[in-house]
Structure 1
Amino acid sequence: MVNSIGSPTHTSASHADHQPVRFVHTFSEAGRLLPSASQWSSIELDFHLAPQSNTTYDSLPSQYSKSFDYELVITDKKWFKSFVYVSIFMLLVILAIVLLVRFLPNKHKHHGNSKNITLALNQALMFFDAQKSGNYPSSSPVKFRGSSGLQDGNTSNPPADLKGGFYDSGKNIKFSFPIAYTITLLSWTVIEYHDKYGSIATDLAGEIVAALSAASIVFKEDTGYSIKLIQSAEKLFEVATKNNTGHHHGTYTEVEDCGGEARMYYNSSGYQDELIWGGTWLFFATGNTSYLGYATGNFNAAEGEETASEQGVFYWNNKLTANAVLLTKLRYFHDLGYPYEVGLGSSSKKIDLLICSYLSHKIYNRTPGGLILLRPDHGEPLQFAATTSFLGKLYSDYLELLGRSGVNYILGDNPMKMSYMVGFGNKYPTNVHHRAASIPWDDQHYSCPEGDRWLHSKDPNPNILYGAMVAGPDKFDNFLDDRDKPWFTEPTIASNAGLVAALVALHDPPYRSSDSNDNNLGIDLNGIFENLQLVPPAT
Structure 2
Amino acid sequence: MGILLPLLTLVLVTLSTSDAETPLPVEISNHWSGGFQGKFCVPVVKELTSWKADLTFDQKLSSLEVWTAEIAESKPGGKEFVLINKPWNAVEHVGDQICVTFLGHGDGDISPKATVIIEGMDVSIPPTLKPGSTGVTDSTGPSQTGPIPATGPYKVFNDWPERTRVEGEFQFPAGTGINGWEVNITFAESVTSMEIAFADVLNKSADGKVWTVVNKMDKGLYDAGSTVKMRFFAKYTGTKAPDGMAYLTNLGVDSQVLPALLNTGCTKYNYDDVIRKSILFYEAQRSGKLPDNNRISWRGDSGLQDGSDVGVDLTGGWYDAGDHVKFGLPMAYSTAILGYGLLQWRDAYAESGQLDWMYDTIKWPLDYFLKAHTKPEELYVQVGDAGADHGFWGRPEDMKMSRPAYKVDATQPGSDVAHETSAAFAIGYMIYKDKDPAYAAKLKEHATQLYDFGMKYKARYTDSVSAASGFYSSSNMTDELCWASLWMYQMTNDSKYLTEAEKWFQPGPAWGMSWDDTQAPNQVLLYQFTKKDIYKQAVEETFTYWMPGGTIKYTPKGLAWRLQWGSLRYASNMALVALMAAEAGINPEKYRAWAMSQIHYALGDTGFSYVIGFGDKYPLRPHHRSASCPWSPAPCSPNTVHRPQPSVHTLYGALVGGPDASDQYKDTRENYINNEVATDYNAAFQGAVVGLRSLILRKIHPEQVAGTAKCNFSK
- 1:209, distance to aligned residue in structure 2 (A): 3.1
1:167 aligned residue (288, 297, 319) = 319
Quote the Cα distance in structure 2 between the aligned partners of 1:482 and 1:402: 39
Match of 2:541 in 1: 353
Deviations 1:454-492 (A, max 9, x none): 112111100000000001111111100010111111000
Q: Which residue of 2 aligns with 1:252?
A: 461
2:429 to 213, 216, 220: 216
Is the CA contact 1:389–1:502 (under 8 Å) kept in the aligned structure 2? yes
Distance 1:148 1:212, change over 3 A: closer
Counterpart contact for 2:610–2:655, Cα < 8 Å? yes
CA shift in 2, pair 1:274/1:228, >3 Å? same
Query: 1:322 is matched with which residue: 484, 506, 521?
Result: 521
Closer, same or farther in 2 for the Cα pair 1:138/1:454, shift >3 Å?
farther
- The corresponding residue for 1:331 is 530
Counterpart among 480, 483, 495 of residue 277 in structure 1: 483
Task: Trace 1:392-471 onto structure 2 (pairs within 5 A).
Answer: 392-399=578-585, 404=593, 405-414=597-606, 417-444=607-634, 446=635, 451-471=637-657
Tell me which residue corresponds to 1:233: 447
CA distance in 2, matches of 1:119, 1:388: 22
Question: Which secondary structure state, in structure 1, belongs to the residue aligned with residue 267 of structure 2?
Answer: helix
Determine if contact 1:153/1:161 at 8 Å carries over to the other structure.
yes
Larger RCO: 1 or 2 (CA < 8 Å, sep 6+): 1
Where 2:660 maps in the other structure, the secondary structure is coil
- Aligned counterpart in structure 2 of residue 365 of structure 1, from 538, 546, 553: 553
Which runs of no fewer than 5 residues in structure 1 stay unpaired? 1-107, 305-309, 333-343, 512-518, 523-539
1:293 is aligned to 499
Instruction: Give the Cα–Cα distance (whole angstroms) in 2 for the partners of residues 154 and 293 of structure 1.
Output: 41
Q: Give me the whole-angstrom Cα distance separating, in 2, the residues matched to 1:456 and 1:115.
A: 33
Which whole-Å deviations, capped at 9, do the CAs of 1:69-108 have from their partners, x for residues lacking one?
xxxxxxxxxxxxxxxxxxxxxxxxxxxxxxxxxxxxxxx9
Number of the residue aligned with 1:494: 680
Contact 1:230 1:282 in 2 (8 A): no
Shift of 1:356: 3.0
Structure 1 contact 250–271 (Cα < 8 Å) conserved: yes
1:29-78 Cα deviation digits (max 9, x unpaired): xxxxxxxxxxxxxxxxxxxxxxxxxxxxxxxxxxxxxxxxxxxxxxxxxx
The alpha carbon displacement at 1:418 in A equals 1.2
Q: 2:272 aligns with which of 100, 114, 118?
A: 118
The aligned residue for residue 689 of structure 2 is: 503
Aligned-partner Cα distance in 2 for 1:464–1:354: 37
- Pick from 381, 384, 406: which aligns with 2:567? 381
Deviations 1:488-529 (A, max 9, x none): 110000010011111011114575xxxxxxx6669xxxxxxx
Alpha-carbon distance in structure 1 between the residues aligned to 2:537 and 2:696: 32
User: SS in structure 1 opposite 2:485?
Assistant: helix
Give runs of ≥4 in structure 1 deviating > 3 Å. Answer: 108-112, 400-403, 508-511, 519-522
Corresponding residue of 1:514: none
1:238 alignment partner AA: D
8 Å contact kept, 1:397–1:521:
no
1:297-316 map, 5 Å:
297-300=503-506, 311-316=510-515
Give a deviation string over 1:384-443, Cα, whole Å, max 9, x none: 1111111112222332899932111101112xx210000000100101100110011223
One-letter amino acid matched to 2:599: V
Q: Decide whether the 8 Å contact of 1:422 with 1:465 is kept in 2.
A: yes
Say which structure is richer in strand. Answer: 2
- 1:304-338 alpha-carbon deviations (Å, 9 max, x no partner): 9xxxxx93301100011111111111134xxxxxx
TM-score, scaled relative to structure 1? 0.65
Q: Counterpart amino acid of 1:292?
A: L
- Opposite residue 357 of structure 2, the aligned amino acid is L
Tell me how far 1:175 sits from its aligned partner. 0.3
Paired position in structure 2 for 1:144? 298
Distance across 2 between alignment mates of 1:201 and 1:127 = 17
Identity over aligned pairs, percent: 28
Partner of 1:476: 662
Please say if residues 114 and 507 of structure 1, whose CA atoms lie closer than 8 Å, have aligned partners that are also in contact.
Answer: no
Measure, in 1, the Cα distance between the counterparts of 2:621 and 2:653. 14
Counterparts of 2:586 and 2:330 in 1: how far apart (Å)? 32
Report the TM-score when normalising by structure 2.
Answer: 0.50
* Shift in CA distance, 271/135, structure 1 to aligned 2, threshold 3 Å: same
Matched residues in 1 for 2:588 and 2:576: separation? 19
Match of 1:102 in 2: none
Q: Contact 1:216/1:227 (CA < 8 Å) preserved in 2?
A: yes
Range with greater deviation from structure 2 (396-405 or 460-469): 396-405
Q: Determine the C-alpha separation between the residues in 2 that align with 1:471 and 1:110.
A: 29
**Cα deviation per residue 1:335-363 (whole Å; 9 max; x = unaligned)?**
xxxxxxxxx44322100222233323342
CA–CA separation in structure 2 for the residues paired with 1:388 and 1:141? 31
Structure 2: segments with no counterpart, 5+ residues: 1-261, 367-424, 702-715
The whole-number CA distance in structure 2 between the counterparts of 1:122 and 1:488 is: 23
RMSD over equivalenced CA pairs, Å: 2.4
Assess if the C-alpha contact under 8 Å between 2:624 and 2:676 holds in 1.
Answer: yes
Contact 1:386 1:502 in 2 (8 A): yes
**Larger C-alpha radius of gyration, 1 or 2?**
1
Secondary structure at the aligned position of 2:296 is classed as: coil
Equivalent residue pairs, number:
372
Q: Structure 2: how far apart are the matches of 1:233 and 1:139?
A: 28
> By percentage of residues, which structure has more helix?
1
Q: Which amino acid aligns with 1:205?
A: M
- The 1-side partners of 2:502 and 2:327 are apart by 29
Task: Label 1:322 to 1:206 Cα distance change in 2 as closer, same or farther (>3 A).
Answer: same
Contact 2:461 2:474 in 1 (8 A): yes
